[in-house]
Amino acid sequence: MSTTPDTNIVFRPVVVRTPAWITLTVWLWRLLVAVVKTVWRHPVACSGLGLSAGSVYALGVHTSALLFITAVCAVVVWAAIEPVSCSRRFKWPAVAWWRWMWVYRRRWRGVMAVAGLGRSIRGRVYLPELVKVSCDRWADRVRVRLLKGQDAEEWAARSGNLAHGFGAVSCRIEVPKPGWVLLTFPRRDALAQVINDLPYTGRPVVDAVHIGLREDGLPFYLKLHGTHVLIAGATGSGKGSWEWAIVGALRPAVREGIAQVWGLDPKRMELSYGRALFSRYAATPVECAELLEAAVATMQERADRYAGVRRDHEATMDDPFIVVMVDEIAFLTAYVPDKQIRARVMAALATLTTQGRSVGVCVVAALQDPRKDVLSIRNLFPDRVALRLDEAEQVDMVLGDGARDRGALADQIPRDPRDPSVGAGVGYVRVEGAPTPIRVRAMYVRDFDIRRMVLREAGVLSHPSRDDTPRLASDDTPDLRTDRREGDRA
């Protein structure tokens, strides 16, 4: 301490001289811990390296090379006979180890520093821990342990930095448990091709219907029974494909008499094309209001019978599951000139979305503008779908706050004016109880497909037996204009 203004103050930290054996012990302990962690996280790769080194030491180079060739042949035969188990046990663990070493471990410190996810305290740098990398056919999943006191929202805000830093198209953030995040980096887009065939099975299903594919290549089942679904998307985003895929998936249940689909089509250009597929249909604003009030009356009648007897609905022929499908709901709730009709529609929709789940009434609504002044009851829809949207702010309007930061980039879904099928039906789905959206593509339903369903309903066509795995469009897919002409001739 000096009181002279021009005197330089020099701070000298206390230096404690550490014996060499203590330093060596600490280094050896860290090396042992690192080896144990590496073996634990990557058993396949480490076992291969260990066995190779041991074989060369014990048997020699020539014998080891012969054993190596034999092992490679065995793996090739395994992959030919059981490709799924070989990929799960050998291929993807090896790919995960390689990407952990070459992509993530090598770039981890730099990406964390540039993205601002590390911390420097008193000259010491603290980084989140890269714990595990797992791979499959579609994506890399990186498990990370957060720093103490770090929030997952900070990682969600840096998802773009992480995607570019590790050379991925996008990055989605999930929180498997407190203090951990799971980063998903897609390597291949399973939704790039058009899904050009409807799933058709003879099994009547009302709980969760198969309407498309998830980003990881697995079938996507949209829950209907016990919930309500809101589908939001700009013009040409594929809302019609979602609606018709739902109608097609419910056809077996409708034929069995345990389900009904009521259609409300204010613009009279979408649902009217397959009007015969709906148990009840309405087009004008007055008819739509009356049909919604009829659904409320059915709901109230069931609630009176169920009161004190049961709490859940079971689809039967006496009490079928009812799906009220409303196309362009914004017209009925905001743009109808008659205020009384708007009030009737809003009252009926609010009643159905708050009380219809437990008695077997589901509302599926589609709209273009997700603003509150257009649909003030959007929060009453537990499950929501965001197709291609015009603005980034609309993503959070549909899927909830923070959905876009967690990877739901619905405003960046591509669109090609020359080919309407590009990006059509691709969207992000947020289901009740799961804050992380999943990327999904619904079937691309053509006019010919709708005509085919109508003809089957009329008994003109038979019902072929198919599995529920959708076929992807390929080079031999017939032209859509040809399909329409064939449908018109039929």
Assess if residue 385 is contained within a domain: yes
Strand (E) positions, 100-228? 119-121, 124-126, 129-135, 139-145, 172-174, 180-186, 208-214, 219-223
Let me know: does 431 contact 223? Beta carbons within 8 Å: yes
Structural domain harbouring 61: 37-81
The DSSP bridge pattern shows strands 321-326 and 438-442 to be unpaired
For residue 161, the domain's CATH number is 3.30.980.40
- 240 and 291 housed in the same domain: yes
The CATH number of the domain where 422 resides is what? 3.40.50.300
| Rounded Cα gap, residues 286 and 430, in angstroms | 32
Identify whether residues 149 and 216 lie together within a single domain.
no
Domain co-membership, 136 together with 263: no
Which residue, among 429, 453, 431, has the nearest Cα to 441 in the 3D structure?
A: 429
Binding residues: 233-240
pLDDT at position 486: 40
Note whether residue 196 is domain-resident. no
- Together in a domain, 115 and 56: no
DSSP per-residue string spanning 225-279: TTS-EEEE--TTSSHHHHHHHHHHHHHHHHHHTSEEEEEE-TTSSSGGGGGGG-S
Is 302 in the same domain as 270?
A: yes
Q: Which of 81, 113, 139 is the last residue of a domain?
A: 81
| Mean of the per-residue pLDDT values of the chain | 84
Q: Is residue 328 in some structural domain?
A: yes
The arrangement of strands across the sheet holding 426-430 comes to 219-223, 208-214, 438-442, 426-430, 383-386, 229-232, 361-367, 321-326, 259-264, 280-282
Is 475 domain-assigned? no
Report percent pLDDT > 70 for the chain. 89
- Is residue 149 domain-shared with residue 288, that is, in the same domain? no
Cα distance between residue 196 and residue 403, in whole Å? 29
Q: What is the count of structural domains for the chain?
A: 3
Q: Are residues 273 and 229 in the same domain?
A: yes
pLDDT, residue 476, reads 38
Q: In the predicted model, is pLDDT for residue 185 greater than 50?
A: yes
Q: Provide the pairing of β-strand 438-442 with 426-430.
A: antiparallel
- Give the chain's length: 490
> Is 464 contained in some domain?
no
Res 173 pLDDT > 80: yes
Residues 212, 178 share a domain: no
- Higher per-residue pLDDT: 39 or 317: 317
Reported as a single tens digit per residue, the pLDDT across 312-357 is 888 999 999 999 999 999 999 989 999 999 999 999 999 999 999 9
* pLDDT given for residue 170 in this prediction: 84
Binding site membership for ATP: which residues? 233-240
Amino acid at 393: E
Distance CA 278, CA 295 (A): 14
> Domain for residue 203, yes or no?
no
Q: Is the pLDDT at 303 greater than 50, yes or no?
A: yes
- Quick one: 65 and 106 in the same domain? no
Q: What does the alpha-carbon distance between residue 30 and residue 23 come to, in Å, rounded to a whole number?
A: 11
CA 285 centroid distance within chain: 34
Q: Are residues 76 and 103 in the same domain?
A: no
Q: Is residue 91 part of a domain?
A: no
Residues 324 and 454 both lie in one domain: yes
Residue 140 lies in a domain: yes
Clarify whether residues 182 and 239 are in a common domain.
no
Q: How far from 267 is each of 235, 243, 330, CA to CA, in Å? A: 13, 15, 11
* Per-residue pLDDT tens digits for 102-145: 999 999 999 999 999 998 887 788 999 999 999 988 899 999 99
pLDDT 10s digits, 411-459: 888 887 777 677 788 999 998 877 788 899 998 888 888 888 888 777 6
